[in-house]
Structure 1
Amino acid sequence: MTIDKAEYVASDPEATGPGAVARAFENQVAYCRSSNAAITATVCQALCDLIDTERGGAVMRRVRRWAGPALADALPLRLAGGLHALHLSGEEPRLAPIYEGLGPNNAAELIADAIERHEPYLMPWLDGPPQTNEAGRSAGYAAAFLWLVDQGLPGEFDLLEIGSSAGINLMMRRYRYDLGGVAVGPKSSRIHLTPEWRGEPPPDRDFDIIAAEGCDVAPVDLTDEKQALRLKAYIGPEFTERFARMDAAIAAANTFPPEVARMRAADFLRDRLARPQQEGTTRVLMHSVVWQYIPQEEREGIVEMMEQAGQEASKDKPLAWISLEANRDTHRHELTVRYWPGGQAWHKLATAHPHGSWIEWEG
């Protein structure tokens, strides 16, 4: 298979075994290609080519024998992140032709050599899911806030984010947004988010964020240089604007770090929902590109907790749930919202690029 022939095939995300491993890499190649991430597609294609060989030492043996669900575990991105970190750190200069976008014909050989030379460095990258914290996703959250205010909910938001990673989206009060001509946020911000807007603009309202807390099972400290490098490694090398946003977010975190607890999502939500809610505020659960990494049983517990809390919500103390997650059937990310009281159905507001490059509004 070549990059230009890679096709995304809807598959059971919980499938395991050699076939599931190969499908995970093939789907990742197709996904990267459709997202204009040509360099990452090259890396994932090279890794895919190595699956049926004996190259790659212990790292690739572990990949071939992956016991868990390769697709749900985002196995391709775990190793791709480690390889990118090798390049960013300067530890493996022979990968430069790949990351400079030259598309070398021997990409698989270059990557196999790098994996074999750096087994101790790369093996830990397989231990946990990718960290893809991205300020651009805040634009989707902001559009959802405007929509919620338009529905009559208070525009003072108390944010609870699960899967916060480094907490970049918890700092969204400091960002400036242009959403289809609707501007919101401080003009002096170093981070200006102007996604390509498709469709009608969102409601021209206003909002404020009075509190923002999050959790992650493995939070990233942006003030730590090594941890910040790990987060940068999950950014596609093609997306220079994302690196600029990351640098600005790191500067913001060094000024006033976000509040990210090291907790499971369900435990964090249970604790925070039990706290008194200020009257005249909207409490919001929000998450982006993380739902697939939460175990099924825990996801079910979160749904149950939110529905129970929703029954206690009132006009003066409403509850909302904002999700920016992949639709596994359409292979696209959808911005959906549910709120209480006033209706328990999910409302699809938009289809959006997973990193915030564009938003196709339907709200």
Structure 2
Amino acid sequence: MDVAASYTRFAREEARSKSPTYERLALEVVGSAVARELLESLPPAKRQPNLLFASIRYLGGDVSRGDHVDVLLRRDFERIRQCMLQRSTQTNEPGRCATLLPYLAPFEEPIALIEVGAAGGLCIYPDQFEYDYGGVRVISRDPRDIPRPRFPCAVSDRHLGPHRAPDVAFRAGVDLHPVDLSDESHVRWLTALVWPEHAERAARLRLAIDTVAALGPQVVQGDLIDTLPDLVHRAAPHGRVVVFHSAVLCYLPATRRAEFQALVRSLPVTWISNEAPGVVAGLDAPSPPDKPSFLVAVDGRTVAYADPHGAWLEPIA
């Protein structure tokens, strides 16, 4: 997909109704010679809208003032370009735990949780957060009296809301470029990836970082396909192994996605995927909602549509 088509799709299908600022900037990129020069100087995998806009904000650009994208880029063109080359889109959105929890809570036995594309490891701690499923509240299993984020998630079926957090006996993640939650520059990058209108998301992210950083999350640096079998072997003695990922496979070439799917199906694990429709091959996607959504699947069977940031969950009958 070329730059114009990619940014038009982002504006119309992802940013619309969620971020007027990013919708405007994405459409400005389409007609901007300055933006095209920047993006065409980068490898295709580094041309993503979220990566561009987060880099501008990370380096101090104020996207809320209404400046045209050309103005924002001319102020810091080379540093923005270098930031995009060095960084990656690692939206470590802990709110996605709210759409993961209903498929973890039913397990009676302890679970060993492995996240592929874990970034800073926030989502391997679903038992450390609190949740509100519209009247059904779930609290952390951790008895420490500390501030914790509470993630609201609207569910169309009240029976879907879990009543307890899972018993996580082992947890680990894998990422090509792990995020160090003790490094303020890494934390600023995670914050820059939160869309500008989403102040509550940013506040919950900060609380989640404070909660998890003190626990020393284990995120292994490595390729997801090369590293996963060893992690599964290490996790197996601790309980039911659950491998999950959210908004990760979309960044892999189709051949690597196919390799990953073949690998995870061959391993003795429960596999939970949370990706945009069309990313995981072979999933049914009946009657998708008329809004940006992910498909949640368990062991290759579609079970729900979900908000990309965890704000709602709609089961598929």
Q: TM-score, normalised by structure 1?
A: 0.75
CA distance in 2, matches of 1:252, 1:67: 36
Change (3 A) 1:49 1:265: same
Shift of 1:80: 0.9
Quick check: 1:327 aligned with 2:282?
no
Q: TM-score, normalised by structure 2?
A: 0.85
- Hey, what does 2:282 align to over in structure 1? none
Quick check: 1:99 aligned with 2:75?
no
CA distance in 1, matches of 2:198, 2:129: 19
Quick check: 1:348 aligned with 2:307?
no
- Hey, what does 2:177 align to over in structure 1? 218
- Hey, what does 2:39 align to over in structure 1? 63
Aligned with 1:39 (options 21, 31, 34): 21
- Hey, what does 1:10 align to over in structure 2? none
Change (3 A) 1:34 1:276: closer
SS at match of 2:125: helix
- Hey, what does 1:238 align to over in structure 2? 197
Change (3 A) 1:114 1:307: closer
Contact 1:223–1:253, Cα closer than 8 Å, also in 2: no
SS at match of 1:270: helix
CA distance in 1, matches of 2:308, 2:156: 15
CA distance in 1, matches of 2:21, 2:304: 28
- Hey, what does 1:316 align to over in structure 2? none
Shift of 1:295: 3.5
| Residue identity opposite 1:247 in structure 2 | R
Contact 2:112–2:235, Cα closer than 8 Å, also in 1: no
Contact 2:137–2:163, Cα closer than 8 Å, also in 1: no
Contact 2:3–2:30, Cα closer than 8 Å, also in 1: no
Quick check: 1:140 aligned with 2:99?
yes
Quick check: 1:161 aligned with 2:161?
no
Shift of 1:175: 0.7
**Structure 2 alignment gaps of length 5 or more:** 279-284
- Hey, what does 2:131 align to over in structure 1? 177
- Hey, what does 2:52 align to over in structure 1? 79
Shift of 1:200: 3.6
Aligned with 2:11 (options 12, 29, 43): 29
Shift of 1:34: 3.3
CA distance in 2, matches of 1:121, 1:240: 26
Aligned with 1:117 (options 48, 52, 75): 75
Greater CA drift, 348-357 or 328-337: 328-337
- The structure number with the bigger radius of gyration is 1
Shift of 1:76: 1.6
Shift of 1:357: 1.4
Change (3 A) 1:204 1:175: closer
Shift of 1:141: 1.1
SS at match of 1:267: helix
Change (3 A) 1:205 1:247: closer
What RMSD over aligned residues (CA atoms) do the two structures have, in Å?
2.4
Contact 2:102–2:160, Cα closer than 8 Å, also in 1: yes
Identity of aligned residues (%): 23
Contact 1:176–1:186, Cα closer than 8 Å, also in 2: yes
Shift of 1:208: 1.0
Q: Once the two structures are superposed, what CA deviation does each residue of 1:187-230 show, in whole Å capped at 9, x if it has no partner?
A: 85511112122234316564311111001101111211111111
- Give matches, 1:272-291, under 5 Å: 272-275=231-234, 277-278=236-237, 281-291=239-249
CA distance in 2, matches of 1:35, 1:283: 37
What is the total number of aligned residue pairs between the two structures?
A: 300
- Hey, what does 1:256 align to over in structure 2? 215
Shift of 1:349: 2.2
Contact 1:285–1:322, Cα closer than 8 Å, also in 2: yes
CA distance in 2, matches of 1:65, 1:75: 13
Quick check: 1:296 aligned with 2:254?
yes
Greater CA drift, 201-210 or 256-265: 201-210
Shift of 1:35: 4.3
Change (3 A) 1:285 1:143: same
Q: Once the two structures are superposed, what CA deviation does each residue of 1:133-157 show, in whole Å capped at 9, x if it has no partner?
A: 11100011101113xx2xxx54311
CA distance in 1, matches of 2:131, 2:204: 13
| Residue identity opposite 2:177 in structure 1 | A
| Residue identity opposite 1:26 in structure 2 | T
